[in-house]
A and B are shown apart, each in its own frame.
Chain A
Amino acid sequence: MIALPLWIVPAAPLVLLALLLVPQARPALRALVPLAPLPALAAALASPAPAPVTLDWLMLGTELALTDTARPFLGFTAALWALAGWQALRLLRDAPGRDRFLACFLLAMTGNLGLLVAQDIAAFYSFFAAMSLASWGLVLQGGGAAQVFAGRVYIGFAVTGELALFAGLSLGAFATGETRLAAMAGPEVPALATALMAAGLLVKLGAVPLHLWLPLAHAAAPAPASAVLSGAMLKAGLFGLMTVLPLGSAALPGAAAGLAAMALAGLVLAPALGLVQAEAKAVLAYSSIGQMSLMALGLAAGLAAPAAWPLLGPAVLLLAVHHAFAKAALFLGVPAVWSTAPGALRAALLAALALLALALAGLPATSGAIAKTALKEALEAAPAGWQVWLGTALFAASLGTALLMLRALWLLADAPQKPDTAGDVALPWLGATGLVLAAPWLLPGGAAAAPDPADLVPPGLAAALALAALALVRSFGLRLAPPKAGELLGLFEAAPRPAPVLALPPPPRRGRTLVVRRGRGAVARPERGALAILGVAAALALVMALAPAGPAPVSAPPAPVTGEG
């Protein structure tokens, strides 16, 4: 493989973005958008990892390198960006803000790819900020009321998360005295710094208390954007946490417990809230929250037992890769379904999607199963106290996912056809599905694991529960009133401010000039002047006569001796 310079990874989309600014070149370059992440993909797959690059003139001395954990991330991120880019081109061919969307898309791509290879704080933070701010543009695409509300919530969370990360990074940089990112995991970094950095990244990961923006954003954003948002960007948060937290080097029992609590809350809440959603993409979003909580649980375990991290790491990684591809494929599938009228073709598509959903739910002989079993074995090595509820948590996760998948498929089934979506939208989806299905053979040592009957139970139970619920609905004629999107925040939505009634301009202020209109000048009476002279002469004579020679100058303010004409 040719030795690719590492700086090409973030540079390719950036250059394309710069070229896009030139109006004349736009039509030609638009087609290149899906190809922009390919150099990154090549770099990820290149057998001799590209050599690290240091540019000390760039910002505070930038260092780019591809670590082992970063390679898989870079791989699936680049692939996802390519597929999403392809579908975005097709889906938004004649959307009004298309160029603006593409610009934001490219900038987010730069950020996402860049932060995976950045080794120093400034570069990492720059790419992180570029990614989160640009994706604000993705969410706002379409300009509807939902998009506006989702955008406001998203930018709120994003900026807060960024500032928390900034504060954490600067505290850490000051404590360690150097600007390398890896140093942030060092022992002398204060707990506050780690906490702040973790908070910033957890916002991006979508862990439970900080997840409020995620369902809104995914529902509002166009499908390819949602695919990239949940597929690649959430993982960026995960990657950040894996570099920043002292996984495998120090035990942080307190932090581990907190992280575990958040993960478990996510595992439980996600399916509960997801089921009641009215929108397919929202349901998928909640399933992402569930999956990400699972990975967070892995991290928590790693924190609790650093010794277990060598096992847990790859497992979490595997889970991440699997979830990225599966969730992206599902999201890409949504427009494919919309483009078909209810009928045979839609049924076929739904069947394929069902296959994907089952893979995600961890059906044996699929990549999902492999990932889940890897995680299960890794969690064995978790500290003793955790064993008891780890098993139930895994079971709940897979059950929840299965239920959510069914709900999503159900919603997709009777979704109205959107005639304007182009026919060939499905192609990138097919590519993604192919990758997911081929995963067991691609991943090393995947196929060998024997199917374990216990894995069958969750999907089966989910199917049974679904049928029971369906029957109930049919018999009692319950109509499910879907709540408004963004459950808690919906309450805060500000009523639009009433347009100001036409206010009259303030009355002109009368000029405050100091000129007081005096009457005709008082007739100058010369004798008053002479009286003044007489008075002053007499007074001065008295002062000079009586005052002894050389007193300190009189400091009392003046009192004019006589009236003045």
Chain B
Amino acid sequence: MVTETSLLVTLPFLAALAAAAAPRAAATLGMAATLANAGFAALLARALLADGARETSLGGWEAPLGITLRADGLAALMIGMTALVGSAVALQAMGRPAPGRPAPAGGFWPLWLATLGAMNALFLSDDLFNLYVTFEILGLSAVGLTALTGSRRALRAAFDYLSAGLAGSLLLLLGVALAYAEAGRVDLAAVPALVETMRGRIALALVLAGLAVKAALFPLHFWMPAAHANAAPPASALLSALVVKTALYVALRLSLEGGAGIAPARAALAVAGSGAMLWGAWNALRAERLKLLVAHSTVAQIGLIALALGVAGNPADSTLWQAAALLMLSHALAKAAMFLAAGRIAEELGHDRISGLNRTELRPGAAEFAFAIAAVSLIGLPPTAGFVGKWVLIEGLIAREAWIWVALVMTGTVLSAAYLSRVVSRCLRGGPHVAPGARRPAWHMGDVAALGLAVGALALGLASALPFALLETTLT
């Protein structure tokens, strides 16, 4: 009997192949597969809520030898996030005007479905080497998405992204090799054993360094802004909202497995995270283009999530890491909405210079409103999920008297308010776009997707009991 987990990991690949084979029908096939995937994700979540986490070993071979797919709360939440954001982005992609003739290999759809399959496999995987392979698929398909537009800058960014990604993966592989040499096994169950010895900790350090490159954490984020800013809107939404999250997810998984022993890594993560917040905000304040601003805000928000992971402390005794998970979820929704909205604005106005937002007589009202709501969620103001995440985080930090980190989270909030209000206030400023003659473009599938996601971020604020319940079933 075919279970949801196996369908979740295999269906996207089959759909990708079908889309590649039949470029003309790629859009419908892609959309159908995405929605089916969302359905399975929902089924998985419901099953988990009903009877808790479950592990399925592939091919019937037990853990150290074979590979097991662990479907627990955290994984289900991430898969749900991917499905939700993915369907919205797919909606936006459906709406985009098809180029003259369908792209040679079906263009966006096969690559998106491959990304979806890779992410599902990654979230469910319980084996370090398997993670390496899934990261590779993810890297390649993400680069494909980045290079879709074919512009010079996009290709340059794609090359940098792929080379950095490969370097990161090889570091990860080096860590796996050392882990194998040290503990003799490569599945996540080895992590507690690795944490004891110095060599094991070096192995984990290498793995984390690889993850840091993949997650574009602060000192290693050089490749990300160019890639995310120059990609097509649906692609940049996927990259910013989902792809960079996978590395953070694995870091969280390691933190869960490692428990107290991995504290120095968590401290490093927190330090890098706060650095990212400050650096990302500084660049966002100085960015002149809308997409570049949003990309730098991703650097900052990734920093915030890393900080949350870092200061979460030993998962055995505090559930603060759940706040980090919720922050990941809310950031995914909000950032995807923001990129889709930014894409729509750039599409309508023909440029995305921030200073020019109110200079033309065209007024993409819906996109601007979606951007504003997404900004509210990113800043972390109520009633959005961002606020709930930050509230739980601050409450936990205060309970542990970690005042420096509270101050840093607060500074991050203020800085994000500063650079995001640059854009929102520009949309409200007077100018030809509010003159009586200003015309509003017709509603577009992209607007629907952006608004849907933004409202999703709001609704998640009210319904964040569901993610927390799901996270309870995580195996630590």
A/B touching: CB–CB < 8 A: yes
- A536 to B222, Cβ gap below 8 A? no
Closest B residue to A525 by CB, please name it. B222
Which of B265, B288, B402 sits near A544, CB closer than 8 Å?
Answer: B265
Residues facing A in B265-288 (CB within 8 A) are 265-268, 270-272, 274-275, 278-279, 285-286, 288
Is B2's beta carbon under 8 Å from chain A? no
In the assembled complex, the CB of B420 is this many whole angstroms from the nearest CB of chain A, namely 13
Interface string of B399-418 (1 = CB under 8 A from A): 00010110010000000001
- B263 to A529, Cβ gap below 8 A? no
A532 to B206, CA, bound (A): 14
Interface string of B39-71 (1 = CB under 8 A from A): 000000000000000000000000000000000
A547 to B202, CA, bound (A): 11
- B198 to A529, Cβ gap below 8 A? no
Of B26-34, B159-167, B324-332, B439-447, the stretch lying at the interface with chain A is B159-167
- A532 to B267, Cβ gap below 8 A? no
CB contacts (< 8 Å) of A553 on chain B: these are: 263, 266-267, 270, 310-311, 313, 402, 405
Of A357-365, A475-483, A555-563, the stretch lying at the interface with chain B is A555-563
Is A530's beta carbon under 8 Å from chain B? yes
CB contacts (< 8 Å) of B164 on chain A: these are: 526, 529-530, 533
Give the residue among A518, A528, A533, A540 with the most B Cβ atoms within 10 A.
Answer: A540
CB contacts (< 8 Å) of B205 on chain A: these are: 537, 540-541, 543-545
A537 in contact with B219 given A543-B268, A544-B201, A554-B267 (CB within 8 Å)? no
A394 to B312, CA, bound (A): 94
- B286 to A516, Cβ gap below 8 A? yes
CB contacts (< 8 Å) of A388 on chain B: these are: none
Is B375's beta carbon under 8 Å from chain A? no
Which of A526, A545, A556 sits near B163, CB closer than 8 Å?
Answer: A526
Closest A residue to B287 by CB, please name it. A515
CB contacts (< 8 Å) of B206 on chain A: these are: 537, 540-541
In the assembled complex, the CB of B323 is this many whole angstroms from the nearest CB of chain A, namely 15
Closest B residue to A549 by CB, please name it. B261
- B160 to A554, Cβ gap below 8 A? no
- B261 to A550, Cβ gap below 8 A? yes
Closest B residue to A518 by CB, please name it. B286
Of B143-151, B207-215, B457-465, the stretch lying at the interface with chain A is B207-215
CB contacts (< 8 Å) of A556 on chain B: these are: 271
- B274 to A541, Cβ gap below 8 A? no
Residues facing A in B156-190 (CB within 8 A) are 156, 160, 163-164, 167-168, 171
- A560 to B226, Cβ gap below 8 A? no
Is A490's beta carbon under 8 Å from chain B? no
A562 in contact with B261 given A529-B160, A533-B171, A555-B405 (CB within 8 Å)? no
A541 in contact with B402 given A533-B171, A557-B408 (CB within 8 Å)? no
In the assembled complex, the CB of B34 is this many whole angstroms from the nearest CB of chain A, namely 33
CB contacts (< 8 Å) of B430 on chain A: these are: none
Is A448's beta carbon under 8 Å from chain B? no
Residues facing A in B390-441 (CB within 8 A) are 402, 404-405, 408, 418, 422
- A545 to B201, Cβ gap below 8 A? yes
CB contacts (< 8 Å) of A513 on chain B: these are: 422
A551 in contact with B209 given A545-B201, A560-B219 (CB within 8 Å)? no
Is B220's beta carbon under 8 Å from chain A? yes
CB contacts (< 8 Å) of A551 on chain B: these are: 263-264, 267
A545 to B201, CA, bound (A): 6
Interface string of A460-501 (1 = CB under 8 A from B): 000000000000000000000000000000000000000000
CB contacts (< 8 Å) of B408 on chain A: these are: 557
- B260 to A515, Cβ gap below 8 A? no
- A536 to B219, Cβ gap below 8 A? yes
Is B223's beta carbon under 8 Å from chain A? yes
In the assembled complex, the CB of A497 is this many whole angstroms from the nearest CB of chain B, namely 36
CB contacts (< 8 Å) of B372 on chain A: these are: none
Is B347's beta carbon under 8 Å from chain A? no
CB contacts (< 8 Å) of A516 on chain B: these are: 286
A514 to B281, CA, bound (A): 12
CB contacts (< 8 Å) of A528 on chain B: these are: 222
Taking residues whose C-beta sits less than 8 angstroms from the other chain, chain A's interface range is 35 or more
Is A565's beta carbon under 8 Å from chain B? yes
CB contacts (< 8 Å) of A555 on chain B: these are: 402, 404-405
CB contacts (< 8 Å) of B279 on chain A: these are: 560, 564
In the assembled complex, the CB of A322 is this many whole angstroms from the nearest CB of chain B, namely 73
- A547 to B404, Cβ gap below 8 A? no
Taking residues whose C-beta sits less than 8 angstroms from the other chain, chain B's interface range is 35 or more
CB contacts (< 8 Å) of A156 on chain B: these are: none
CB contacts (< 8 Å) of A58 on chain B: these are: none
CB contacts (< 8 Å) of A552 on chain B: these are: 263
A541 to B205, CA, bound (A): 5
Closest A residue to B404 by CB, please name it. A555
Which of B202, B219, B260 sits near A549, CB closer than 8 Å?
Answer: B260
Closest B residue to A538 by CB, please name it. B209
- B220 to A529, Cβ gap below 8 A? yes
Is B238's beta carbon under 8 Å from chain A? no
Is A190's beta carbon under 8 Å from chain B? no
Is B204's beta carbon under 8 Å from chain A? yes
Interface string of A425-436 (1 = CB under 8 A from B): 000000000000
A371 to B388, CA, bound (A): 84
In the assembled complex, the CB of A517 is this many whole angstroms from the nearest CB of chain B, namely 8
A541 to B206, CA, bound (A): 6
Is A535's beta carbon under 8 Å from chain B? yes
Is A2's beta carbon under 8 Å from chain B? no
Which of A530, A544, A550, A562 sits near B219, CB closer than 8 Å?
Answer: A562
CB contacts (< 8 Å) of B196 on chain A: these are: 549
Closest B residue to A517 by CB, please name it. B288
A535 to B196, CA, bound (A): 24
A492 to B202, CA, bound (A): 88
- B220 to A532, Cβ gap below 8 A? yes
Is A344's beta carbon under 8 Å from chain B? no
CB contacts (< 8 Å) of B268 on chain A: these are: 540, 543, 554
- A557 to B402, Cβ gap below 8 A? no
A564 in contact with B263 given A533-B171, A541-B205 (CB within 8 Å)? no
Is B114's beta carbon under 8 Å from chain A? no
A536 in contact with B260 given A529-B223, A560-B219 (CB within 8 Å)? no
CB contacts (< 8 Å) of A543 on chain B: these are: 205, 264-265, 267-268
CB contacts (< 8 Å) of A565 on chain B: these are: 222
CB contacts (< 8 Å) of B171 on chain A: these are: 533, 537
A513 to B422, CA, bound (A): 9
In the assembled complex, the CB of B40 is this many whole angstroms from the nearest CB of chain A, namely 36
Interface string of B300-322 (1 = CB under 8 A from A): 00000000001101100000000
Interface string of A204-248 (1 = CB under 8 A from B): 000000000000000000000000000000000000000000000
- B219 to A561, Cβ gap below 8 A? yes
- A554 to B208, Cβ gap below 8 A? no
- A545 to B222, Cβ gap below 8 A? no
Which of B167, B272, B314 sits near A558, CB closer than 8 Å?
Answer: B272
- A540 to B208, Cβ gap below 8 A? yes
Which of B168, B267, B422 sits near A533, CB closer than 8 Å?
Answer: B168
Is A524's beta carbon under 8 Å from chain B? yes
13 pairs, A vs B, C-beta closer than 8 Å: A532-B220, A535-B219, A543-B264, A544-B204, A544-B205, A544-B264, A549-B195, A553-B263, A553-B402, A553-B405, A555-B405, A556-B271, A564-B222
* Besides A529-B222, A529-B223, A541-B206, 10 new A-B residue pairs in contact (Cβ under 8 A), listed by A number: A514-B418, A526-B163, A545-B198, A549-B196, A549-B260, A550-B263, A553-B405, A554-B270, A556-B271, A564-B221
Sorted nearest first, the 4 A-B pairs with minimum C-beta distance are: A558-B275, A547-B264, A544-B205, A537-B209
Mark B residues whose CB is within 8 Å of A: 156, 160, 163-164, 167-168, 171, 195-196, 198, 201-202, 204-206, 208-209, 212-213, 218-223, 226, 260-261, 263-268, 270-272, 274-275, 278-279, 285-286, 288, 310-311, 313-314, 354-355, 402, 404-405, 408, 418, 422
Mark A residues whose CB is within 8 Å of B: 513-516, 518, 524, 526, 528-530, 532-533, 535-537, 540-541, 543-545, 547, 549-558, 560-562, 564-565
